[in-house]
Amino acid sequence: MNSVKKRTRQDKQIELFATSKGVYAIDSPVRIKILSMLRKNELSFDRIVALSGKAKSTVSVHLKKLVDEGIIDSKPNPDDARKKIFFINSEYLGELSHEKRLEDDIEGYVASYISSDGDPFEFFRLMFKTIRVALMSQGINIDPILHEAGLKVGDALYERVKDPDINRFLQNIAEFWETHYLGHVEVKSIDPLIINVHDCYECRDLPVTGNPACAFDAGVLKSLFSTHFKDEHTVKETKCYAMGDNYCCFAINKL
What distances in angstroms separate CA 45 from CA 36, 63, 89, 166, 239, one per listed residue? 15, 9, 16, 42, 37
Q: Are 55 and 10 found together in one domain?
A: yes
- What one-character DSSP code corresponds to residue 199? S
Domain co-membership, 224 together with 237:
yes
What is the residue range of 120's domain?
A: 102-141
Question: What does the angle CA 154 – CA 156 – CA 161 come to, to the nearest 5 degrees?
Answer: 75
Q: Which residues pair with 43 in a beta bridge?
A: 86
Question: Is residue 234 helix, strand or coil?
Answer: strand
- Tell whether 174 and 199 lie within a shared domain: yes
pLDDT score at 206 = 84
CATH number at residue 87: 1.10.10.10
Query: pLDDT tens track of the chain, all 255 residues?
Result: 333 333 344 456 788 898 888 888 898 999 999 999 998 899 999 999 999 999 999 999 999 999 999 999 999 988 888 899 999 999 888 887 655 555 555 566 566 656 656 667 777 777 777 788 777 777 778 888 899 899 999 999 999 999 999 999 999 999 999 999 899 999 999 999 999 999 999 998 888 888 899 999 999 999 999 999 999 999 999 999 999 999 999 999 998
Same domain, yes or no, for 71 and 128?
A: no
Say which amino acid occupies 21. Answer: K
pLDDT at position 8, please?
41
Which residues are CB-neighbours of 39 under 8 A, at least 6 positions away? Answer: 88, 92
- Looking at the fold, whether 16 and 82 belong to one and the same domain comes out as yes
Cβ neighbour number for residue 232 with a 10 Å cutoff: 11
Query: Distance between terminal CA atoms of the chain?
Result: 46
- Residue 64 CA to residue 45 CA, distance in Å, equals 11
**Same domain membership, residue 131 and residue 230:** no
Which of 141, 170, 196 finishes a domain?
141
Q: 135 and 173 in one domain?
A: no
Co-location of 166 and 129 in the same domain: no
Dihedral sign for Cα atoms in the order 167, 169, 172, 174: negative
Residues 160 and 211 in one domain: yes
The backbone torsions φ and ψ at residue 42, rounded to the nearest 5 degrees and listed phi first, read: -70, 140
Same domain, 165 and 237: yes
In the chain, the number of structural domains is 3
Instruction: Strand 91-96: give its sheet, edge to edge.
Output: 22-26, 14-19, 91-96, 140-141
What DSSP string describes 140-166? EE-HHHHHHHHHHHHHHHHHHH--SSH
Q: Tell me 88's DSSP state.
A: E
Say if residue 209 is in the same domain as residue 172: yes
Question: 208: which DSSP letter?
Answer: P
Q: Counting every residue, how long is the chain?
A: 255
What pLDDT, on a 0 to 100 scale, did the predictor assign at position 4?
A: 37
The reply to whether 165 and 180 lie within a common domain is yes
